[in-house]
């Protein structure tokens, strides 16, 4: 075992993985060949990370999450308990679609709530927040707040996870950080 990261004895890490310094892999998880986990990631129990999945630094993967081939996550992503990513848009048991996996990218600082499902081929923007149980069927802009099935946008959220209320000049201020955000052309950016 490599001393630069921790793997619980009940977990399986296949050969050919890259695992960053300080990463922790907890009970009953399976890390498959060819995946890359950045530094200081925390992989909860009963997690499956399929071949070629890439996680940035400080990604938190809670219990019972499935990350299938085609998924990439930037730094500081939070994946809530039992959320799942798909990788085939039209699966059939009798039809082999290996190699036809659709890609999904999760941007820096985004959070995906417990039991949410991310249908493949749709990207999640930086610092977006997907509510618990949501089913994402289209791409999500940065700082968007989505809930429901199918997921629909109900507002905007700050990097600290607070709803943003935009005034007359389309400026909002995060109540925790004091950072300013601008809403322009139906997109939000930090000022």
The reported pLDDT for the residue numbered 2 is 62
The answer on pLDDT for 147 being more than 60 is yes
One domain for residues 166 and 115: no
- 150-183 pLDDT, tens per residue? 999 999 999 999 999 999 899 999 999 999 999 9
One domain for residues 184 and 150: no
DSSP lists the bridge partners of residue 146 as 130, 153
The answer on pLDDT for 101 being more than 80 is yes
One domain for residues 35 and 99: yes
The reported pLDDT for the residue numbered 18 is 97
| Residues 124 and 130 sit within 8 Å (Cβ to Cβ) | yes
The reported pLDDT for the residue numbered 3 is 78
Above pLDDT 70, what percent of the chain? 99
Q: Going by DSSP bridges, is the β-strand pair 78-79/18-19 parallel, antiparallel, or unpaired?
A: unpaired
Which pTM does this prediction carry?
A: 0.96
One domain for residues 102 and 190: no
- 10-40 pLDDT, tens per residue? 999 999 999 999 999 999 999 999 999 999 9
Measured at the CA of 154, the angle between CA 152 and CA 155, to 5 degrees, comes to 130
The answer on pLDDT for 111 being more than 80 is yes
Residue numbers of the domain that contains 182: 162-191
One domain for residues 150 and 174: no
One domain for residues 47 and 97: yes
One domain for residues 172 and 114: no
Number of domains in the chain: 2
Above pLDDT 90, what percent of the chain? 96
The answer on pLDDT for 74 being more than 70 is yes
Q: Report d(CA 58, CA 171) in Å as an integer.
A: 30
One domain for residues 166 and 142: no
Q: b/e per residue, 156-185, with b = 16+ CB within 10 A? A: bbbbeebebeeeeeeebbbeeeeeebebee
One domain for residues 170 and 131: no
One domain for residues 170 and 133: no
């Amino acid at each position: 075992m490599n001393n630069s990261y921790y793997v619980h004895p009940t977990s399986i890490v296949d050969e050919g993985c890259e695992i960053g310094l300080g990463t922790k892999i907890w009970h009953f998880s399976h890390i498959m060949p060819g995946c890359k986990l950045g530094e200081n990631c925390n992989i909860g129990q009963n997690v499956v990370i399929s071949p070629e999945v890439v996680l940035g630094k400080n990604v938190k993967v809670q219990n019972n999450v499935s990350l299938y081939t085609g998924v990439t996550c930037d730094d500081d992503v939070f994946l809530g308990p039992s959320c799942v990513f798909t990788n085939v848009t039209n699966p059939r048991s009798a039809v082999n679609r290996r190699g036809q996996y659709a890609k999904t990218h999760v941007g820096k600082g985004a959070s995906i709530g417990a039991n949410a499902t991310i249908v493949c081929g749709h990207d999640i923007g930086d610092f977006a927040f997907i509510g618990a149980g949501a089913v994402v069927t289209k791409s999500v802009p940065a700082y968007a707040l989505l809930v429901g099935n199918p997921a629909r946008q109900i507002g905007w959220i700050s990097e600290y996870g607070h709803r943003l209320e935009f005034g007359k000049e389309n400026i909002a201020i995060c109540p925790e950080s004091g950072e300013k955000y601008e809403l322009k052309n139906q997109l939000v950016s930090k000022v």
